Amino acid sequence: MTTPIADVKDSAKSAANSEGVAERDRKAEHLALATDARMQAPRHFFNEYDLAYRALPEIDLDEVDTRTSFLGKTLQAPLLISCMTGGTGKAGPVNRMLARMAESAGIAVGVGSQRKALEDPSQVDTFLIREEAPSVPILANLGAVQLNYGYGLAECEAAVEMVDADALVLHLNPLQEVIQPEGDRNFADLLPKIKLVAEELSVPVIVKEVGCGISGRVAGELAERGVHIIDVAGQGGTSWARIEAHRAEDYDLGDLFADWGVPTPTAIKQVREIPGVTVIGSGGVRSGLDVAKAIALGADLVGMASPFIHAALKSEAAVKETIDRTVRELTIAMFCTGARSISDLQQVRIYERTR
């Protein structure tokens, strides 16, 4: 049973007020709303695909190796705890917990948009996770649109240095921004600015969406400008259109655009066709079987957000259990398709179900 949305919003506002924030705390509201089941997209697209099953896999389960490499580091599984939160009081303990569990499991982790910390140094602590995750890849995060609002290479470097990051995520979120009451809507001429950052930043740039997907065409435009890691963050998971429409109390608008965008499986297949691009598949990934399907569709790494934030709001043990179960489900899927390695899994045939 889900919490009534009015209660969720009241809880977020109460959290903001308890932290002494005079105006509405957007980050606190996002954290609260993202855990409500009604903020999810209406379709789970990975259920529309099946991996080719091998009744005779010809391998030992103990041979299955889920390890991969990312940003020059070895991961024990091709998983990323996707960029989610920061910049509000409750986010600090959540980020640190997720980082500890990422380190323990040997998987990558990202933080939410660091804009608030760059503008308000009192929020920096909510993003500091390197001490909890000394060896795994950490992703810094800023909105690409901020490159049209006074941000440049210096701010991007500051975000990287703040969290000692291995890469910087520049997220794309035009639908979210246009519905968000306080949104930034000028997305004009961002490609040359992204190109400059990609060329000059001290670490690689990753461009990701936040839940509406990146098409092959956009991925190609980004690759031509030096972006070689793309997180498709496709449609099928948390709907930021619904979240922002609920914050604006325009519920019909949220429902209208709840299924807007490129479905994650479609986005993965399209972006996979761009030469030289590392593909992160995220958006509506809910299980290790979904992870396996994303990799078979062409992803190199798979991001998950909602399952981890739900677990983190329960306990550290719940986060560990979520990671362990996801890896176990992935291992079973690999075994039952005869895939010894992640590269083998990328060659497994995957079928779209006919309706």
Q: Average pLDDT of 311-332?
A: 97
* Averaged pLDDT, 130-154: 98
Residue 19 counted as domain residue: no
Q: Any idea what DSSP says for residue 35?
A: T
Predicted confidence (pLDDT) at residue 1 exceeds the cutoff of 60: no
Q: Is the pLDDT of residue 174 over 90?
A: yes
Kindly tell me if the per-residue pLDDT of 4 is higher than 60. no
In sequence order, what DSSP letters do the residues of 162-197 get, joined into one string?
Answer: HHT-SEEEEEE-HHHHHHSTT-----TT-HHHHHHH
> Which residues have C-beta within 8 Å of that of residue 293, sequence separation ≥ 6?
46, 49, 51, 265, 333, 350
Question: What pLDDT score does 31 carry?
Answer: 67
Burial of 202 (0-12, 13-18, 19+ CB in 10 A): exposed
Q: What pLDDT, on the 0 to 100 scale, is given for residue 29?
A: 77
Predicted confidence at residue 43, as pLDDT, reads: 84
Q: For residue 128, give Cα distances in angstroms to 37, 53, 84.
A: 29, 43, 14
Element (H, E) at 50: strand 49-51
Q: What would the DSSP string read from start to end of 311-329?
A: HHTT-HHHHHHHHHHHHHH
Q: What is the CATH number of the domain that holds 286?
A: 3.20.20.70
* Domain assignment present for 5: no
Poorest-pLDDT segment among 43-47, 129-133, 207-211, 336-340: 43-47
Residue 24 located in a structural domain: no
pLDDT (0 to 100) of residue 149: 98
Q: How many domains does the chain have?
A: 1
Residue 355: per-residue pLDDT = 63
pLDDT of residue 9: 36
Confirm if 137 and 83 have CB atoms less than 8 A apart: no
Q: What is the pLDDT of residue 7?
A: 37
Residue 258 domain-assigned? yes
pLDDT confidence band for 10 (50 / 70 / 90): very low
Residue 12: the pLDDT is: 38
Q: Which domain holds residue 209?
A: 43-352
pLDDT tens digit sequence for 95-122: 999 999 999 999 999 999 999 999 999 9
Task: Assess if residue 288 is contained within a domain.
Answer: yes
The pLDDT confidence band at residue 323, using thresholds 50, 70 and 90, is: very high
Element holding 61 (H helix, E strand): none
Domain assignment present for residue 127? The answer is yes
Residue 290: inside a domain, yes or no?
A: yes
Say if 23 falls within a structural domain: no
